[in-house]
Each structure stands twice: as structure tokens, then as C-alpha cells.
Amino acid sequence: MFAALKDKSTRDSAAQLGFVGIFILLIVVFGFTARSNLEAQGMTSGFGFLERATGWGISFSLIDFSTSDTYLKAIWVGILNSLFLGVIALTLATVLGVAIGVMRVSGNKMAQLIATTYVEIFRNLPLLLQVFFWYAILTTLPRPRDFADATGPIFFTGRGVYLPGLNVTGLSVFLVFAALVVTFGLWIWLKSARKFARVSMSQKKTRARGIWITWLVLSAGLLWWGRIPDSSLVSQPFLKGLNFREGIRISPELMACIVSISIYGGAYIGEIVRAGFNAVGKGQSEAGHALGLSQFQTFVYIRLPLAIRAVLPTLINQYVWLFKSTTIGIAVGFVDFFMVISTSINQSGQTLELIAILMGGFLVINYSMAWVLNRVNDAIKLKGNQLRT
Amino acid sequence: MAKTYHPPSVIEAIRADYFSTRLNSVVTVTFATFVAWAIWQLVNWGLINATFSEENKDACGHGAGGACWAVIDARWRLVLFGLYPFEEQWRSGIACVAIVITGILSCVPWFWNARRLSGLWVGGFLVFYILMRGGILGLTPVFEQNWGGLSLTIFIFATTTLLGMPLAIVFALLRRSELPWIARTMGVVIDTIRSLPLLSIMFTFAIVLPFVLPGWMIGDKLYRVIVGYALFFACYQAEIIRGGMQALSPGQEEAAKALGMGYWHRIGYIVLPQAFRNALPPTINQLVITFKETSLVVIIGFFEILASGNAAYGNADWNFAHVEVYCFVGFIYFIFVFALSRYGAHLERRMAVAQR
């Protein structure tokens, strides 16, 4: 017995077995306790409840949802809403962040001052506080009925922001966006993949133009196909009675989430972008100047592409992190994935199953997001001795 | 005659910084106008047209055009101390000060070794806990359900980091273990927890854990949430420490091995001190994020400073004053977080100099 303990490999195996064993034991104990607790409460476990009708409505949904729809569909609505919020907020955060990052490295002290103030204020306040703040601001805007003699395409009211929209089906809009993503991917691929290294610059340009024109034609066709019959193509919101009709209404909940996540994320991304610009050696832009490029050309063709490549890995982590923060939608009542799950738990009592779905959903979303972005990173990152300072 | 260097005059410096090209001049003027306008609006709203004391309460509110700081005058105790009994609120205040002093002291390099630092924090935390909880030294007991406001925020933050830091070291060591199954299992656990939102972890610990734990292990909801948060913190911090260990040249550990040091000596005297040094800036950053994200417990239903802020304007008298209350709460967060992040930046610069 003691002789066996002296042998290192035996000890190692025992340690590993013990470690993994403790984990399995914990899970088994949890499982059995859960089972006996559930039995005591007379509940049945399993995923059968997903087929039941929910009996509650969802205030914001990209697909049709009614109270007689199933839990499965409600969860799907939640996931779509989360992705919707995530895509909008992350895009805006990126735009803001790049602008702020550029301002911080620009030679202009005034721009630096503004950008630094922005970053220091919004990065140092909790996201939740910002969501509450914007929500309070947005819901205390004037009521729609106060807009009786206001004109303009956009109305900021306490019940939401009203924008002009298109009278088309959701499916066609989705297809247009999907086509945009595919086109963008193709464009990046064409620009940077090894495969096209020998294709000449002008030929690449022609091809890129071809790709984008195809997208434009395709989306025009898709929108035309998706028209809702017997209505004008553009729908402009107008006041009727106490509220606005037609157009697109962005609820204060969604708006507060979008505004706060993009502002908060913009501050973080701004810092990342700044670090990226600082990582690009001074020699690079000096070489650009020496070749006779203007300040602007040096920036667009040399510093920006190099900076993006330098920061992409950090940016990927930031995106995953920001996407997780969309769960704060529950604080103001935006029905995202997390809120659907928590409402379902309250209503159906199937706690364990729903939590498993929540965690599984986030694992899948985050891992696939990281996977896609890492592929993009692999495609455009500098290889070998390309990175010089 | 050789040109001698003369330092740029003020005007030259301003020209170089703000008006070097035509585009720069335009940008400067536009931004300066914007800044001036924003500052003017802010001063107008926050100082000139503002109402400061509770007696002039009627002056503020609808359409006055200025901030109504009277709400802070009237409700600051609620924001800072939550539901803590009124007569005992001095204890809550002193407890917060004790933790802040502990935090400031731990910035003094003399405390920078494991024994002094942990001693300092355990001491500071005990002072905080005894003051808050009472029950001994003639203090009336106040239970956790009545804690609130700033002291609850600080309590959650302090317990999370105090529990999470040792856990993070253990996690990092296990993940770096030479035994593949231990390293792999730990890797899966860490990566899984890191890819979940903090809110879902807190929610799981608050709501789900009572289902799967045997009765005697359930404990108070507050402590369950803190344990969940500490676990989440530990997973992030473990990756930071692991990063610090990886930045260490392998020669360090090999040299220690060659000198015949055992595993614990190698880790304790060679690897960890240097790893922590490498990992200090991201650690401070993680502490900043952890402090900010304590606000998420509002959603689980705790009465920390953000929730007490919501309560401060949540009655008929003050329901218009949300901006002022959020500014006040935001200011308190800002002081803590800004100080911490500036300190992190200072450390980073200091270390950059040291490594040059």
C-alpha cells in the first residue's frame, strides 16, 4: 500500500482520479438532491414543458408571438431579441469606439481632451447605472400628444422613438442583412486572403465593386419582393389621437439598452483602438510620409489597417464581453434571452431545465461568435515578418 | 552661425497643439464651441439655476430648468445607508471609511507581501463586519437584511475579492498543473464560467442553488450570491494570474528546480510573486470591473447603492429628480472607480519604467 504511494505515476493517477471523481460526485449529489426536492414539490422534470403554451405575451418581438405560443418559441424570441440588441449595440459601439480612439491619437489637443473626458466618464460608471439613467431620461420625454404641431421624420417621445420605416416583411429585411454580412465577408476575403495575393490591385477593385453592386441589386429586389401589398413603400409616423401610427417605434427599453451599451462599449473599444494605434510603429507613418502620402492617406492606408490588425484579438474578447452585458435588458424590462428565461422560471417552475438552456445558449452564442471572429483574425492578421516598427 | 535650440513659446506651443493645419484649426474651433456650450449648459443646470437645500424644495421640479440637489439634501442618508437603522448609521459610515482606509493602505509598498497584505485586509474586513453586524462590544445587532446603500456595495465587493483571490490562485495552479486531467477539467470549468454572463451566475446561485443543495448548505441568499460572484471573479482572475505566470521566463522555475526547491517553495517564493507583479495592471482593471458590476445585484433584489438611489427618487415628492439622484450615485461610483483605475495606470507606468 505504502510502496504504491511512493511511485510518482501511481500518485499522479490517484490525484487525477480523485480530482475528477470529486467533480462527478458533486454533480451526482446535486442531481439527486434536485430530484428529491422536485419530487417533494410534486414537479416533473424534463423538457416536455417547452411544448406548452406560455400564456404570457412579449412586448417586443421580431417574429410573431402570441400568448398561445409555446415556451420553445418564447425562448427563440428571446434569443433573437438578444442577438438583435447585440448586433445593433456592438456595431454602434465599434463606430463610436473607433471615432474616440482616433480622436485620442490625433494631434489635436482639443479632440484629445473631449475623447479622454468621454472615456474617463463612461468607462468609470457601472453599465447598469447608465441603463437606468438613459431609461429615466427617455421615459420622461414629452408624451406623443404634445407633438401635435411638430413636423419631422423622427419623433422622440416618452413612449419611444418613432422613425420612418419601410412597409416590407421582416423576412426580406433579414435576408438583406444576411446578404450584407455575406458580402462583407466576401469583400474582406477578397482583400486579404492569400489566394488572391497575385490578383492585381485594379482587378481586385473591379471585383469588389462587382460584389457590392450585386448586393445592392439583390437587396433592392428582396425589398421589392417583400413589400406588403396595398401600402406605400415608405411609412412615415403620424400622430393620430394620443399616439403615433405607422413608422417604426423603438421602445424606451430597447433604446436605453442600445444607447447605454454602445456608449459604455464605445469607451472600452476607444481605449483598445488607441492602444492599437500606439502599437503601430512610428516608422510606418514616417515611411508613408517619405513616400509622399498625405496625412490623411497615411492614416487610411497605413495606420488604420495596421491598428485594426493589432487590436483584433483584444477586440474579440471585448465583443464577447459586451454581448454578455446585453443581459442587463432585464433591468428596464427589455425582453431579451435572460428575461424570457427568468419569466419562464417564474411561470413554469422548471428552474433547472431553463437555467441549463440559458447557459447552453450563451455558451453556443459566445463560442460561435469567438470562432467566427477568430477566423477573421486568422485571415487578416500579419504573418511572420510583416509586423515591423 | 549655428542655430541654437530655444524652447517654443506659449503661442507657438498652442499653435502646434491646436492650429497646426487648416483642418486642425477647424476641428479645434468646432470642438471648442461644443465644449464651451456643454460646460455652459452644465453650469447653468447644475449650479446657477439649481436648488440646493431642502427648504427651497418648492422652487425646483417642473420647468425650473435647474438641477434639484434638494433631493440629495433630503435623501442622502437613504442613498448611502439604505435601510440601516437611523440611529446606527454612523456605524455604517465608519465601516465604509475603514474599508477605504484599508484600500489606501494596501497601495503603500510596505504592505506588498502576501502576509502583510492579507493581514491588513482580514483586519480591515473584520472591523467593517463587526461595526456593521454588531452584537458584540455593546453594539446592537443589525442583520444583513437591513444592510444597504454604499456599505452593502462595499461589503459585496470586499467579500468577493477576499474569497475570490485565493480561489483564483488555486484555479490558476490547477489549470497549469502537469497532470493533464486536472488541467483539462479546470480549463473547461474556467472557460465555461467565463463565457456566461455574470447576471446568469448570480441568478443561478440565488434562485437555483437551493434546489440542488442539501438543506444545511443553502445559507443566506446574500452569501450565495457573493459565493457565485467570487467564483466568477476567481475564473477571470485565474486567467490573469496564469497570464502573469506565462510571461515568466521558464528559466526561473527551472533554476528553482535545479536548486532543489520543492513545488510549494517554487510556487510560493519564485513563481507567484513575479507572476503577481506581471499581472498587477490587469488585476487592478479586474478589480475596477468587479466594483462596477456589484451593481448587478440590484436585479437579484438587493438594496445596494444603485437600488437605494432608485428608492430615493421613487416617491411622489421626488419622482422628477431622477437625473440628480443618478448623478449623485454615479459620482460616488466614479470616485471609487476612477481612483482605482488611476492607481492602476500609475502602477503600469511605474513598471514600464522598471522594465526599460
Contact B295 A124 (CB under 8 A): no
**Local structure of residue B109 (DSSP, 8 states):** G
CB B69 within 8 A of CB B324: yes
Q: Is residue A77 part of a domain?
A: yes
Pairwise CA distance, residues A96 & B318, whole Å? 34
All residues of chain B having their beta carbon less than 8 Å from the beta carbon of residue A352 are 208, 211-212
Output A35 or A132, whichever has higher pLDDT: A132
Q: Is A388 in a helix, a strand, or coil?
A: coil
For residue A269, the model assigns a pLDDT of 92
Question: Count of CB atoms within 10 A of residue A342's CB?
Answer: 21
Most B CBs within 10 Å, among A13, A110, A289, A369, to test the B interface: A110
**Cell digits of residue B163:** 474569497
Beta carbons of B179 and A15 less than 8 Å apart:
yes
The answer to whether the CB of B8 falls within 8 A of the CB of B16 is: yes
Tell me which residue in B31, B32, B197 faces A324 most closely, judged by beta carbons. B197
Tell me the pLDDT band of B51, cut-offs 50, 70 and 90: confident
The mean of the pLDDT values for chain A is: 82
The verdict on A368 touching B (C-beta cutoff 8 Å) is: no
Q: Where are the domains of chain B?
A: 70-355
The CB-side HSE value for A110 (13 A sphere, CA atoms) comes to 20
> pLDDT class for A382, splitting at 50, 70, 90?
low
- Mark yes or no for CB contact B20/A30 under 8 Å: no
- Percent of all residues in chain A with a pLDDT value above 70, rounded to a whole number: 89
Contact A125 B203 (CB under 8 A): no
Interface test with A, best of B212, B240, B289 (most A CBs within 10 A): B212
The model's pLDDT over A333-354, given as tens digits with 9 standing for 90+, comes to 888 888 888 888 888 877 888 8
Whether A237 contacts A151, CB under 8 Å: no
Grid cell in block for residue B278: 506581471
Of A8-22, A163-177, A242-256, B51-65, the poorest mean pLDDT is in: B51-65
Q: Please, which pLDDT band fits residue B149 given cuts at 50, 70 and 90?
A: confident
* A351 touches B: beta carbon within 8 Å: yes
Q: Measured between alpha carbons, how far is residue A320 from residues A6, A82, A83, A274, B241 in Å?
A: 46, 13, 12, 20, 21
CATH number, position A68: 1.10.3720.10
pLDDT at B147 over 50: yes
Distance of alpha carbon A379 from alpha carbon A193, whole angstroms: 6
A110 CB neighbours in chain B (<8 A) are: 18, 27-28, 31-32, 35
User: Can you tell me the distance from the alpha carbon of A380 to that of A305, in angstroms, rounded to the nearest whole number?
Assistant: 10
A7-27 tens-digit pLDDT: 778 888 888 888 888 888 888
For A156, the 3-state DSSP assignment is strand
Would you say residue B196 has pLDDT above 50?
A: yes
**Buried-exposed string B231-263: b where 16+ CB fall within 10 A, e elsewhere:** bbbbbbbbbbbbebbeebeeeebeebeeeebee
- Measured in angstroms, the CA of A136 and the nearest CA of chain B are apart by 7
Supply the pLDDT for residue A267.
92
Count of structural domains, chain A: 1
- Report pLDDT digits (tens) over A169-180: 777 777 888 888
Measured between CB atoms, which of B27, B195, B292 is closest to A363? Answer: B195
Please compute the mean of the pLDDT values over residues B286-298 and round it to a whole number. Answer: 90
| Model pLDDT, residue A148 | 67
Torsion angles phi and psi, residue B35, rounded to 5: -60, -45
Contacts of B323 in chain A (CB under 8 A): 133, 136-137
Q: How confident is the model at residue B115 (pLDDT cuts 50, 70, 90)?
A: confident
pLDDT at A193 over 90: no
Distance CA A45, CA A34 (A): 10
Is residue A114 assigned to a domain? yes
Closest Cβ–Cβ partner in B182, B195, B213 for A33: B213
Mean local confidence (pLDDT), B203-223: 79
Average pLDDT over residues A270-293: 87
pLDDT at residue A261, rounded to an integer = 93
The residue among B142 and A120 whose pLDDT is bigger is: A120
Confidence of residue B75 (pLDDT cuts 50, 70, 90): confident
Q: Give the mean model confidence (pLDDT) for residues B308-319.
A: 77
- How would you classify the pairing of strands A155-157 and A160-163? antiparallel
Helix (H) / strand (E) element for A161: namely strand A160-163
H-helix or E-strand containing B105? helix B89-105
Contact A320, A389 (CB under 8 A): no
**Res B54: pLDDT:** 67
Identify the residue among A12, A106, A121, A128 best suited for mutation to test binding to B, counting B beta carbons within 10 A and taking the highest.
Answer: A128
Q: Which residues of A touch B302 (CB under 8 A)?
A: none
Range from A294-303, B14-23, B48-57 that averages highest in pLDDT: A294-303
pLDDT tens for each residue of A289-333:
899 988 888 888 888 888 888 888 888 888 888 888 888 888 888
Please tell me the predicted confidence (pLDDT) of residue A389.
Answer: 47
Number of H helices and number of E strands within chain A? 14, 7
A43-82 as b/e: b if 16+ CB within 10 A: eeeeeebbeeebeeebebbeeebeeebebebbbbbbbbbb
Q: Which of B39, B236, B292 to mutate to test the interface with A (most CBs of A within 10 A)?
A: B292
Condensed to tens digits (0 to 9), the pLDDT of residues A133-171 reads 999 888 887 777 676 666 667 777 777 777 777 777 777
Q: What pLDDT, on a 0 to 100 scale, did the predictor assign at position A2?
A: 63
Looking at the predicted structure, is the pLDDT value of residue B1 above 60?
no
Residue B165 has a CB neighbour count (10 Å cut-off) of: 20
Element (H, E) at A245: strand A243-245
Q: Report how many Cβ contacts below 8 Å link chain A to chain B.
A: 150
Can you give the pLDDT at residue B116?
A: 85
pLDDT at B103 over 70: yes
Domain B70-355 = CATH 3.75.10.10:
no
Place of cell 467570487: B230
**pLDDT averaged over every residue in chain B:** 83
Contact B78, B86 (CB under 8 A): no
C-beta separation of A85 from A61 below 8 A? no
Closest CB from A133, A136, A366 relative to B195:
A366
A34 touches chain B (CB under 8 A): yes
B5 vs chain A: nearest CA distance in angstroms?
Answer: 23
Q: With 70 as the cut, is the pLDDT of residue B234 above it? A: yes
Q: Nearest CA to A266 among A306, A322, A309, A308?
A: A322
d(C-alpha B175, C-alpha B134), whole Å: 40
What domain range is A140 assigned to? 51-144+252-380
Q: Residue B191: is its pLDDT beyond 80? A: yes
In a domain, A197, yes or no: no
Using an 8 Å Cβ cutoff, are B139 and B131 in contact?
Answer: yes
SS3 A68: coil
User: Is B334 in contact with A129 (Cβ distance < 8 A)?
Assistant: no
Name the pTM for this structure.
0.85
End-to-end CA distance of chain B: 38
CB contact under 8 A, B298 and A331: yes
Task: Please give the full DSSP string across A335-371, using - where no structure is assigned.
Answer: --HHHHHHHHHHHH--HHHHHHHHHHHHHHHHHHHHH
- The helix (H) or strand (E) run that includes residue A239 is strand A238-240
Chain B hits for A367, CB-CB cut-off 8 Å, are: 195
Nearest CA distance, A106 vs chain B (angstrom):
10
Q: Which of B94, B144, B99, B106 is nearest to B124 (CA)?
A: B99
Out of B207, B295, B326, closest to residue A345 by CB: B207
User: Nearest CB to A15: which of B182, B323, B334?
Assistant: B182
User: Is A133 in contact with B323 (Cβ distance < 8 A)?
Assistant: yes
- Residues 278-317, chain A, touching B (beta carbon < 8 A): 295
